[in-house]
Structure 1
Amino acid sequence: MIEPPPTGPPPTGPPAPPFDEPRARALLALACAAAGLPDPAGARLLALGENAVFDLGRPALVAKVGRARELAPRAAREPALALWLAANGVPVVRPHLPEPVTAQGHPVTFWHRLDPALRPARAADLAPLLRTLHRTPPRPAPPAPLPRRELLAPVGRWLRAAEGYLDPADADYLLRRGADRAAALAELVPQLTPGVIHGDALPRNVHVGADGPVLLDLETVADDLREHDLVVLALARDRYGLPAEEYLAFTRAYGWDVREWAGCAVLRGAREIASAAWVAQHVPGSAAAAAEFRRRVASLRDGDRKVRWHAF
């Protein structure tokens, strides 16, 4: 069962330092020292979201620094899951170390850097990867029991990360809406057989190299409704401007359009709530994130599905 996001007061104690690039670099330096890797002074920042992702240059590794200490359990699963998926024929990125390094409580994982991409990934590149993943057998068993895809569970954490920067009414609205939607999620009847899913199936989590597409970012691999992996692109079509022809190419390559499923609106709505709350953690210090957060919440309040959301 998917639990509703927490609604209680935030934990007491001194506030955590803001997770920005300087903070992420400091944590990366600690992790590299602990792992016996060279000083990462020249590391190149690739992304700053739930993780700060760095290209270390030499050695040919990529490091992911977890934004929050609460991400440690899923970071601990990810390297072993990558090896398990690869053994089951799923093209995935490979870990450099079998488990994370901890830097002041933040998990840091190290991965072999892939060769340069031949081109940006498209929606159709994701479809065969998901077909392979969704056929992954339950045996041999994964290295640890897979969790459910608790899509709404982080909503409270994301909102608390921006406490004092958000309109409290907006935060309360997302918490209440998320709790209502969590109850509806628990009642969904899937059309596909549940099983292994990626959990955040977007083209940005695919690398197209000389040997074909490879799946990245395996933190949210779970055992749940396969529809989770398909509704992501349905939402991208509706909210983020994914061209209709690209979405059609994806559904044709996968072999099914999740919008035909009776539960699509419920699952899509839950993903919208999570996507709106996700932006909140970027609001401190970012006027663009604050504006995007307000845009998303206002469109949810108004029930306006035509409002375009901007990737952040």
Structure 2
Amino acid sequence: MDEARARDVLAASGVLPGAAGDARLLALGENAVFAAGDLVAKVGRDAELLDRARRELRIAAWLAGAGVPAVRAAEAEALLVEGHPVTVWHRLPDPVRPAGARDLAELLRLVHALPSPEVDLPRRELLGGVERWLRLAGDAVDPADAAYLRERRDGFAAAAAALVPHLPPGPIHGDALPRNVHVGPDGPLLVDLETFSGDLREHDLVVMALSHDRYGLPAEEYDAFTAAYGWDVRAWEGCSVLRGARETASCAWVAQHAPSNPKALAEFERRVASLRDGDETVRWYPF
């Protein structure tokens, strides 16, 4: 889904004030995110994401009831418009500063202290999107690379299923990065709730370990994260398994953009080559 298609869906939905062409594009990935007035609309890539969109709205309501700082929905129901799920949210005020690792850790402590909600939280299917992303990539990527990622997916899925956690399982954010924290006038809050799950708490902590190892997160930021949370997941013997699973998923996620973006293809090839070579020092770049 490109921006033009997303704007067509936005126009058909009629959920934002003003003309769809005037709405500000905030992000374009699995969702196109637009803002106008005091509202934000998320347009999903395809109808397969409708159930996830509905669950995200229920999670937002649950977090509001639990007093966890997070983005709040403006409409309780998701729409399906021309085959695309559309949800509407309250627009956040401008950030007062960038979110840091400590902000994320403090919010995760709140989430990880919550009991399981009445909302039916799925397992964190970290590898569940691999097949769809590779299918979207089509013949833009080397078939041998796609086959390699499928093999890695199957191996890490089996290994992850056998893990013994250090922390008690329960609600997790599922994509715990500072980019999913917004620091407004009232303090930090969580955004992008669509990956909320009920699973190993370690999933939320491995993300930052991988950010340090692969994406250049400074050591002092990672140390601030572990100090604020109270534990370093790298001390857990299962860390390498969840890290390997997330690396596999991250490669496949980039692949879906390869047909229309040469930079995405180059980043995909960089990532796959580093995995094939077993070189954990190769820097990956956010996309």
Match of residue 24 from structure 1: 6
Match of residue 233 from structure 1: 208
Shift of 1:258: 0.5
Which digits, 9 at most, give the CA deviation of each residue in 1:226-270, with x for residues without a partner?
000000000000000000100000000000000011100000000
Q: Distance in 1 between matches of 2:217 and 2:121?
A: 30
Match of residue 14 from structure 1: none
Shift of 1:37: 4.8
Q: Distance in 1 between matches of 2:160 and 2:39?
A: 38
Query: What SS does the corresponding residue of 2:140 show, helix, strand or coil?
Result: coil
Shift of 1:68: 2.4
Match of residue 51 from structure 1: 31
Match of residue 62 from structure 2: 84
Shift of 1:39: 3.0
Q: Distance in 1 between matches of 2:138 and 2:52?
A: 24
Shift of 1:209: 0.8
Structure 1 letter corresponding to 2:24: R
Q: Give unpaired runs (5+ residues) of structure 2.
A: none
Q: Give unpaired runs (5+ residues) of structure 1.
A: 1-18
Q: Distance in 2 between matches of 1:93 and 1:306?
A: 35
Match of residue 163 from structure 2: 188
Report the TM-score when normalising by structure 1: 0.90
1:106 to 74, 77, 84: 84
Structure 2 letter corresponding to 1:277: A
Shift of 1:145: 1.1
In terms of mean alpha carbon deviation, does 62-71 or 228-237 score higher? Answer: 62-71
Equivalent residues of 2:8, 2:20 under 8 A apart: no
> Percent sequence identity over matched residues?
64
Q: Distance in 1 between matches of 2:276 and 2:138?
A: 20
Shift of 1:280: 0.9
Structure 2 letter corresponding to 1:136: L
Structure 2 letter corresponding to 1:114: L
The reply on whether 1:300 has 2:275 as its aligned counterpart is: yes
Match of residue 261 from structure 2: 286
Q: Distance in 1 between matches of 2:213 and 2:277?
A: 16
Q: Distance in 2 between matches of 1:244 and 1:227?
A: 19
Report the TM-score when normalising by structure 2: 0.98
Q: Distance in 1 between matches of 2:201 and 2:173?
A: 9
Q: Distance in 1 between matches of 2:16 and 2:266?
A: 42
Q: Distance in 2 between matches of 1:106 and 1:37?
A: 19
Match of residue 41 from structure 2: 63
The count of residues paired between Structure 1 and Structure 2 equals: 287
The reply on whether 1:210 has 2:185 as its aligned counterpart is: yes
The reply on whether 1:124 has 2:102 as its aligned counterpart is: yes
Structure 1 letter corresponding to 2:276: R
Greater helix share, 1 or 2?
Answer: 2
